[in-house]
A = this chain, B = another copy of it.
Amino acid sequence: MSNVLVLGHKNPDTDSICSAISYAYLKNEMGMVAEPIRLGEVNNETIFALETFKFDHPRLVTQVSKEASQVILVDHNERQQSAEDINEVQVIEVVDHHRIANFETTDPLYFRAEPVGCTTTIILKLFKENGIEVPPNIAGLMLSAIISDSLLFKSPTCTKQDVDAAAELAEIAGVDAQSYGLDLLKAGADLSNKTLEDLISLDSKEFEAGDRRFEVAQVNAIDVEEVMIRQKELEVLMANTIAAKDLDLFVFAVTDILNNNSVAIVLGERSGIIESAFKSSVVDNRVLLPGVVSRKKQIVPVITEALS
């Protein structure tokens, strides 16, 4: 029970996995016994990063309180995105780059959130502030997270700090950010081995706005129509999720990583807000979102505002 578990959010993306590994490494170097874990399956993009830089998958732990009394959250802070039994352990640190919500402690803690594109951009600062060197393979993972979260620096969430951190990490890792980055994104956009259930659940997050609950799932694709051709089947699965989780709205966004647009399927009792919120016509439950690639910056705040 003495290890501190370091965990990213449910349905982990590359940032959640790579932040957990790199921050646990930093904490271990600083004398804490910390272990990176994951709350769910590792996606294709993350597998590509882990294989490139020769890391095993972090251990899957679904009940953190059976393993530890203290945890560190990376890449998330909202309770509903964390381990199911997060209330039964003490959160001693948070390193994140998202909005803050549904987070409460009884004691002071280390909470470091910054409005940058990727958690590992902040973790790089923490390496420096603590005088610890970033090893090349850890640098590769941290770079992968920035490329993933910023869609190779094209997302509006990407800041100068992310670009600078990526350049520094690419040099330490000894890779070319552009060519490695494109390979990484393509690995993530390979949907060939995905079921329809995977598409709407693997990178999906729940949010609350006032009394309303909504979920936004996102997949990256090279050929958006390859996904949208199965819209009717996807809608059946989405409707099941809405019923099971009592959601007011479910948005499933397919993001074209080469052209930086998204197409979304929107379902739920409150889907009527989408048209005016995004100023785009909803036809047959489908809406085109030109220039929208970021769930965090371009989708969630717009829906939160419209539902509140």
Q: Name A residues whose Cβ lies closer than 8 Å to a Cβ of B.
A: 97-115, 125, 129, 296-297, 300-301, 304-305
Contact = CB atoms under 8 A, between A and B. Distances in A.
17 contacts: A97-B108, A98-B108, A99-B104, A99-B108, A99-B109, A100-B103, A100-B105, A101-B104, A106-B304, A106-B305, A107-B297, A108-B115, A109-B115, A110-B114, A110-B115, A111-B111, A111-B113
Contacts of A297: 107-108
10 smallest A-B Cβ distances: which pairs? A111-B113, A108-B115, A101-B104, A99-B105, A106-B304, A106-B301, A110-B114, A100-B105, A99-B108, A99-B107
A277 to B, nearest CB: 13
A179 to B, nearest CB: 29
Contacts of A109: 99-100, 113, 115
The residue among A99, A111, A113, A300 with the most chain B CB atoms within 10 A of its own CB is: A111
A26 to B, nearest CB: 16
A102 B296 CA distance: 21
B105 A111 contact: no
